[in-house]
Amino acid sequence: MFVVVVALSALTGCTRTSYAIHTNDGRTIVSDGKPKESDSGLLGYTDANGVKQQINKTDVKEVSEIPH
């Protein structure tokens, strides 16, 4: 799984720091830039394809910075 995260982080470019969003069901989502929490219980992020997405914060186990 780490290889997938590293490969996807390479696709997001070097201009921003990437973050790994680890979900309770075992998925890892790569965010381009730091995810932002909202008051509505959602975590907003931009995915590796540049598309803005949201995930319920209760579905997130951990968010960690991906080292370059």
Identify the pLDDT of residue 35: 98
Contact 49, 23 (CB under 8 A): no
Identify the pLDDT of residue 68: 79
**Fold designation for 2-65:** SH3 type barrels. (2.30.30)
Identify the pLDDT of residue 3: 44
* Of residues 49, 58, 68, the one with CA closest to residue 29: 49
How far apart (Å, rounded) are the C-alpha atoms in residues 64 and 38? Answer: 18
pLDDT tens for each residue of 15-49: 579 999 999 999 999 999 999 999 999 999 999 89
- Grouping H, G, I as helix, E, B as strand and the rest as coil, residue 66 is coil
> Which tokens belong to 13?
């470019």
User: 63: which residues sit within 8 A by CB, 6+ positions away?
Assistant: 19, 20, 21, 22, 31, 35, 43
**Domain ranges across the chain:** 2-65
